[in-house]
Amino acid sequence: MAYRLARITPFVPCSTLARQVGFYCDLLGFTVGFQAQNYAFLQRGDVAIRLIEVAAGIDLTAPEREMSFYIDVEGIDALYRSLEPGLSTLPEGRVRGPFDQDYGQREFHVLDEDCTLVFFGQAIDR
């Protein structure tokens, strides 16, 4: 039987669904594919994430709850420039602009509203 894995869509816990939907849509360019009371499916091109609101009182900033995910992109510098006006409104320390990693990736990093670290990266042509 032939098969193909199409994509991975991480579940990203959040403390306030509306705030996170706004962050991912307004600042990172995602659109809402589906939204319910405590869940939202967001996508941008072939990339998708699933936001799930957690119970009140759960501290998503606690180190033991640290979460991150990596989005492979093409045209990383152009993507960053397109997002930069919105990203520049975030508090200091929430965005790390494009830089080259020793392991052959060019990346930029963004912390979402609940401290999930979103990596954007592209292989460096060598």
DSSP code string of 65-85: G--EEEEE-SSHHHHHHHHHH
User: What DSSP element (H or E) covers 14?
Assistant: strand 11-14
Q: How confident is the model at residue 56 (pLDDT cuts 50, 70, 90)?
A: confident
What is the structure's pLDDT at 65? 81
> Which domains does the chain carry?
11-123 (3.10.180.10)
30 phi, psi to nearest 5 deg: -80, 160
Per-residue pLDDT, averaged over 69-92, amounts to 95
Encode pLDDT of 93-112 as tens digits: 999 999 999 999 999 999 99
- pLDDT band at 70; cut points 50, 70, 90: very high
Residue 60: what pLDDT? 84
